[in-house]
Structure 1
Amino acid sequence: MYTHSKQIITAGVPIEQAQKAIIMLHGRGASATSIITLSDRLQLDGYAIFAPQATEHSWYPYSFMAPVSNNQPALDSALELIGELVNDIKNKGITQENIYLLGFSQGACLTLEYVSRNAGRYGGVIAFTGGLIGEKLIESNYKGDFNQTPVLITTGDPDPHVPVSRVNESVAIMERLNASVTLEIYKSRPHTITGEELALANSIL
């Protein structure tokens, strides 16, 4: 089993000059370089952009619905990496209210898991096809107050990797932590990101 090293690709405005920062998390089998190409379609003027690279192109080995123990130590290592990156960005003078997180598929699951374990006011959270991680969700893992952070979660119905039931469960937990969640479910949409989803993301960015 593997852990992650800190390999981060950056784009956008240098952090010292940026007003805002976004962390973009790629899906399984993809790369930091591939998720950063989304920035061409997103309104990220003035943002410092950070995309970490997962070891072996995967944040954790098994399905996000597998028992959490099966996905260790990779999952904890991934969550720790995001935490370090958030702290690095704060240390450069960008407040948490101006930090955004975005992920697709496995990266979306990781994004939701990280912010829900560390609920606070973020700029915004965008999860293209994802849900909270674990065979069963353990409510006590998730704490804090999102203070009405805007959260966008999108998915297809059905999606080959992410059951709508888990997405709904995740929304309920995040709303209890005071997130302002927008959920969009697209009938028979393939496992991809559509232009409509990017437009919704831009309304948060």
Structure 2
Amino acid sequence: MYTHERHVITHGKPLSQTGKALIMIHGRGASAESILSLADYLPVDDFSLFAPQASNHSWYPYSFMAPTEQNQPALDSALDQIHDLVKSMAGEGISSQNIYLLGFSQGACLTSEYAARNAQQFGGLFLFTGGLIGPQLDTSNYKGNFKNTPVLITTGDPDPHVPVSRVEETVQVLEAHIAVVTKKIYKGRPHTILQEELELAKEILTRTQESE
């Protein structure tokens, strides 16, 4: 078992210039560089991008629906890494509504878990094929108020890693904490991110920028 070395790749202008951050969390077996490449398809030229790198290219060793203790201490270490990143941005005077979070697969699971445990008004959450972590959801873990944060959550039906039922449960938790959720389930879609999913993310990013 392992804890994560703190290694974050940044891209774009410094946060002091942009005032807006997109934190991008990669999936199992992938890298910070690979998730950063998604930025080429999103309207984020005016954002500072941050992509943490998991040790061993995995945020936790087993399935996100395995008994939670099997994924420790890696899971807590991964959650702490996101929390510390958000906290450091707050320390630079960046409000939570100017912080956006994006993840794919294992990264989307980690992102949803972090956000639900620390609900606040984020700029937006983009959960590409993921859901809350654990064999069953312990709703006492989830605290705070998203204050109408827009959330995009997607998966395939079936998906080899993320059952539709867990996506549905995740939507219920996020909405209970006052998130505005767009859910898309794609029949027969492989474990990937479709162009349509990126278009939906673009819409949220454009809408939130226009409302500033």
Q: TM bucket by the smaller chain?
A: over 0.9
Residues 34-183 of structure 1 aligned to structure 2 (within 5 Å): 34-183=34-183
Q: Using the TM superposition, give the Cα deviation of residue 15 of structure 1 relative to its aligned residue in structure 2, in angstroms.
A: 1.1
- Structure 1, unpaired ranges of 5+: none
Aligned length: 205
Q: Which runs of 4+ in 1 moved over 6 A?
A: none
The worse-fitting range, judged by mean Cα deviation, of 66-75 and 83-92 is 83-92
Equivalent position of 1:187 in the other structure: 187
Q: Which residue is 2:208 aligned to?
A: none
* Partner AA of 1:8 in structure 2: V
Superposition deviation, residue 16 in structure 1: 1.2
Q: Contact 1:12/1:44 (CA < 8 Å) preserved in 2?
A: no
Correspondence for 1:6: 6
* Structure 1 residue 14: Cα displacement: 1.1
Q: State the 1:143 CA deviation.
A: 1.1
Structure 2 unaligned blocks of 5 or more: 206-212
Alpha-carbon distance in structure 1 between the residues aligned to 2:16 and 2:180: 30
What is the aligned-residue RMSD (CA, Å)?
0.6
Give the Å deviation of 1:49.
0.2
Measured in 1, the distance between the counterparts of 2:77 and 2:107 equals 14
Q: CA deviation at 1:147?
A: 0.5
Letter in 2 for 1:116: A
Q: Which residue of 2 is the match for residue 197 of structure 1? A: 197
**Aligned to 1:88, what secondary structure does the other structure show?**
helix
In 1, the alpha carbon distance for the partners of 2:48 and 2:94 equals: 10
Q: For residues 92 and 40 of structure 1, what CA distance do their matches in structure 2 show?
A: 26
CA separation in 2, counterparts of 1:66 and 1:203? 34
Q: Percent identity?
A: 64
Amino acid of the structure 2 residue aligned with 1:170: T
